[in-house]
A = this chain, B = another copy of it.
């Protein structure tokens, strides 16, 4: 490394890439003050240069060909911000094989092909960092991997998707239906035109896979995670939750048991007194329990040009330290060590408290039939609300909160209950945060 200069190449100048370029240019002096290193944005590869980006790139080599920077022996660190699987995977692999460190925010790629990429990095004595892939600007990956390195992680509860948190917050605060809240999120730029990956819980599952991999030192592929989205939640459920002193959040859950880990993403009722219940709008938070540190929480913006770029640049500064290492040495505690083999506990074997909302005929005996089935499966009711009938069809909502029960028992009970013709098929079952 000559003159303590670190040469950086960025692939992709969309929202995030623009943010990274902006920090490297605008905060150059600050970064040099803090690190003693000169971060030189050498090359940017981008297909569409027609867009106005409000950046002075006169000192940067601008190209449409990513290989120009991937093949440049002067480039030390490659930042991939194009997202998606291909060509992102090929670009990252090539950079690593050319012994360049890589920084990415590509959560889908890390959650699926991470293991392959770590291996390539390891074989080539370079590092692959991805702080921005979870929790946007929140330094949660660094927090788990380094700040809390002394801890076995008992549990991690994350509000990891800004879109769904914004929607649920608006449903709660402004008494909106799901569709109206989604529209509002799209208007404000907090939801994509196609919001499927967010509202299905898939994005949160990608992020949970990444956090769980770090927490357990075992590669957790995201398709092994039990996932439910938020589309079934109505403003009626928000109001019921509120009447029980709770709010509904899409929660990503990692919980360690003696015989494995429990991984889930689903909407969850959280008591209003818990700090996570206060995390509103598009914000993210991760509540972490370590066996030594106890309960901690990391909170902040989970997306956006500037926060995401803040995380990427922190990875760049971290990686620049590697350039000072002895030949062949590597920060083993920076790279994720995936030597453990962790069992995933099937969701059926997990105990939870439940929120159940049925729509039933308003007639005698209904409640006793439902509670009878639950009792048969060892599920006891903690509280219950039944509203008076107002509609013409003589159907009313009944909401039950249960004590702890096995998921398997609940599945069996629900299957029986919806077979009754006085119960509509579109019931809702949520879980309650303990």
- Which of A's residues lie within 8 Å of B, judged by CB? 19, 23, 27, 30-31, 33-37, 131, 137-139, 142-143, 145-152, 217, 275, 278-279, 290, 292-301, 304, 306-307, 309-311, 313-314, 317-318, 320-321, 324-326, 329-334, 337, 339-340
Is A296 a contact partner of B138 (Cβ separation < 8 A)? yes
Closest to A316 in B: B150
- Distance between A227 CB and nearest chain B CB, rounded to angstroms: 27
Of A19, A299, A317, chain B has the most CB atoms within 10 Å of the CB of A299
Is A30 a contact partner of B152 (Cβ separation < 8 A)? yes
Question: In the assembly, how many copies of this chain are there?
Answer: 2
Residues of B contacting A326 in the complex (Cβ-Cβ under 8 angstroms) = 324-326
**Sample (6) of A-B pairs whose CB atoms are under 8 Å apart:** A19-B292, A27-B151, A137-B294, A142-B142, A147-B311, A321-B333
Q: List 12 additional A-B contacts (Cβ < 8 Å) besides A27-B151, A37-B332, A325-B325.
A: A33-B337, A137-B293, A143-B143, A146-B318, A275-B275, A292-B307, A293-B301, A294-B301, A294-B306, A296-B299, A324-B326, A324-B329
Is A300 a contact partner of B297 (Cβ separation < 8 A)? yes
Partner among B148, B310, B325 whose Cβ is within 8 Å of the Cβ of A310: B148
Closest to A320 in B: B333
Known A142-B146, A324-B331: A292·B36 in contact at CB below 8 Å? no
Is A139 a contact partner of B148 (Cβ separation < 8 A)? yes
Is B317 a contact partner of A149 (Cβ separation < 8 A)? yes
- Distance between A295 CB and nearest chain B CB, rounded to angstroms: 7
Known A298-B298, A325-B325: A310·B151 in contact at CB below 8 Å? yes
Is B294 a contact partner of A297 (Cβ separation < 8 A)? no
- Distance between A109 CB and nearest chain B CB, rounded to angstroms: 22
Residues of B contacting A324 in the complex (Cβ-Cβ under 8 angstroms) = 325-326, 329-331
Of A19, A34, A37, chain B has the most CB atoms within 10 Å of the CB of A34
Is B332 a contact partner of A35 (Cβ separation < 8 A)? yes
Partner among B35, B146, B150, B301 whose Cβ is within 8 Å of the Cβ of A309: B150
- Distance between A399 CB and nearest chain B CB, rounded to angstroms: 27
Give the distance in Å from the alpha carbon of A257 to the alpha carbon of B19 in the complex. 24
- Distance between A403 CB and nearest chain B CB, rounded to angstroms: 27
